[in-house]
Amino acid sequence: MMDEYEALIQKAINCINENKFIAAEDYLKAAIIQNVSAPQTHNLFGILAEYKGDKLLAGKHYRAAYALDPTFKSAIRNLERITHFSSSLWDSKFDLGNEKFEEDNKYFIEYDEHKIGHLKRKTY
């Protein structure tokens, strides 16, 4: 069964998909009260900021999501998309965190001395 936080996140995603941004923001505010340390909320706040045209704020939210969970790929993909010079990434869709992406093998997890995993991009 879906807990209250997950239900709020799903409602926010549905609202974003329907361009109901004020309602989505309200659901996200309620979700962050339920779980202040979950990266999904900041990732979705970043998407809302992008829709409003505030890429700087969007990047801050994506980085906050990454800081909360360095293995949360949706935030990494969104942050990479808005900071990359390639137009193909700029034209790619938002990663709402609700879809399964095929493993692209561009990333790996590296553990630090505190046994905290950090998602790193492979260099070729």
Summarised one tens digit per residue, pLDDT across range 8-19 is: 999 999 999 999
Split at pLDDT 50, 70, 90, the class of 41 is: very high
Average pLDDT value over all residues in the chain: 85
Mean pLDDT, residues 44-52 taken together: 95
* pLDDT reading at 42 higher than 90: yes
* pLDDT reading at 83 higher than 60: yes
Confirm whether pTM is higher than 0.85.
no
* pLDDT reading at 6 higher than 50: yes
What integer pLDDT is reported at residue 7 of this predicted model?
96
Asked if 37 contacts 64 with a C-beta cutoff of 8 angstroms, the reply is no
Mean pLDDT, residues 93-116 taken together: 69
| Pairwise CA distance, residues 80 & 64, whole Å | 14
* pLDDT reading at 110 higher than 90: no
Determine whether 47 is exposed, middle or buried from the number of CB atoms within 10 Å of its CB (0-12, 13-18, 19+).
buried
For the chain, which domains are there? 4-91 (1.25.40.10)
Angle between helices 21-34 and 39-51 (to 10 degrees): 160
